[in-house]
Amino acid sequence: FVEELAQLKELPAKTLDGTEVELVGNIGTPKDVEGILRNGGTGVGLYRTEFLYMDSDKMPDEEKQYKAYKEVLESMGEHPVIIRTLDIGGDKKLPYLKLEDEMNPFLGLRAVRLCFVEEELFKTQLRAILRAGVYGNAHIMFPMISNVQEVRQAKAILEECKEELKKEGISFDENIKVGIMVEIPSAAVTADIIAKEVDFFSIGTNDLCQYALAVDRMNETVSYLYQPLSPAILRLVKMVIEASHQGKAAKFTGMCGELAGDPRAALILLGLGLDEFSMSGSSIPQIKKIIRSVSMEQAKEIAEKALTLDTEEAVVAMVEEELKNLD
């Protein structure tokens, strides 16, 4: 079994009929990169930069951030690294950033919303990412986007940072790719509008489920309603992928929520056309094995079948049967 996994590491995540997808990893710190490479991951699909802020007793300055991002980019070589801008608020707080108490923190000043209020903080991070981008294949990703205006606002601030760096004569990645997390239902259903403004999407199913199903992702009492494979979520995922693939310049859609590393979801997501799956390093071999054992045609049929079913329970039962047939 260990030998089988070692062999898998070198093989592409390709279906029997030749469709290749990217299997990449989620990281919180530069140290986590090792686990992705060891498991054959071909990039970072989500770098949760908030740990850089939470593990510090003061705001990390541009230099400190630049070093951390550069380290990740260098160890990933040519592979893409998607760096997510600060996602603080909700349940995550910074001791050195005083914020008003909120009645509903998850619906309040979180992530990009906070960054628009604390613009200096935001710009410091964007400058650090732009500068580090020189050392690899960096992508910037904005979290908690709810509409296209926010995308435009974030991109305008990014442009300001580029202008500043240019004036200061500091080198940076001029053509850095820009994408968003799709984790708020309003962004999912307007993905066709937003797609025109970005290079890629990454679906954050952890929050997408929380917001679309109105279920606190931490609350055990209502966790039975937290159903990532329910018809509601599958329809949203399908909508986002299709929106990204339309038009002349096809954009890619990844997924970096927990669902991307769930073997029960793999065949459906593949069949829906997901381009990139981002998960913890240790989940990569298992998902790769599943992808390598089907044809795209089979996966599409399974996805289509899933979309006709009326409950998550039925979807899970169907897909478990399909997985059994694979081995």
Pick from ligand PEP, Mg ion, none: which does 197 bind, CB < 5 to 8 A by kind? none
Bridge partners, residue 26, by sequence: 46
* Cα separation, 137 vs 251, whole angstroms: 17
Quick one: which of 136, 85, 138 has its CA closest to 114? 85
Cβ distance to Mg ion smaller for residue 144 or 195: 144
Q: Which two tokens stand for residue 64?
A: 């400190």
Q: Is 204 in the site for Mg ion (CB under 5 A)?
A: yes
Q: Which of 22, 32, 199, 207 binds Mg ion (CB under 5 A)?
A: 207
> Strands (DSSP E) along the chain, which ranges?
22-27, 44-48, 80-84, 137-142, 177-182, 200-203, 252-255, 276-279
Minimum distance from CB of 85 to Mg ion (Å)? 12
Half-sphere exposure of 232 (CA within 13 A, CB side): 13
Binding partner of residue 48 among Mg ion, ligand PEP, none, CB cut-off 5 to 8 Å per kind: ligand PEP
Least CB distance to ligand PEP at residue 142 (A): 12
User: What minimum distance in Å lies between the beta carbon of 36 and ligand PEP?
Assistant: 15
What span, in angstroms and rounded, lies between the C-alpha atoms of 327 and 268? 17
Q: How far is the CB of 183 from Mg ion (least distance, A)?
A: 5
Q: Which residues of this protein are in contact with ligand PEP, per CB under 6 A?
A: 46, 48, 87, 183, 204-207, 256-257
Closer residue to ligand PEP (CB): 287 or 296: 287
Has 161 been annotated as catalytic?
no
Residues within window 298-327 making contact with Mg ion, judged by CB under 5 A: none
The one catalytic residue among 115, 161, 209, 256: 256
Rounded distance between C-alpha atoms, residue 167 and residue 6, angstroms: 49
Is residue 183 within the footprint of Mg ion (CB under 5 A)? yes
Residues that constitute the known binding site for phosphoenolpyruvate = 48, 84, 206-207, 217
User: How many Cβ atoms sit within 10 Å of the Cβ of residue 215?
Assistant: 17
User: Which positions ≥6 away from 276 have C-beta within 8 Å?
Assistant: 21, 22, 23, 24, 43, 45, 202, 252, 253, 254, 255
Of 30-89, binders to Mg ion (CB under 5 A) are none
Q: Smaller CB distance to ligand PEP: residue 29 or 206? A: 206
Closest alpha carbon to 68 in 47, 86, 87, 54 = 47
Write out the catalytic residue numbers.
Answer: 256
Residues in contact with Mg ion by the rule CB under 5 A: 183, 204, 207
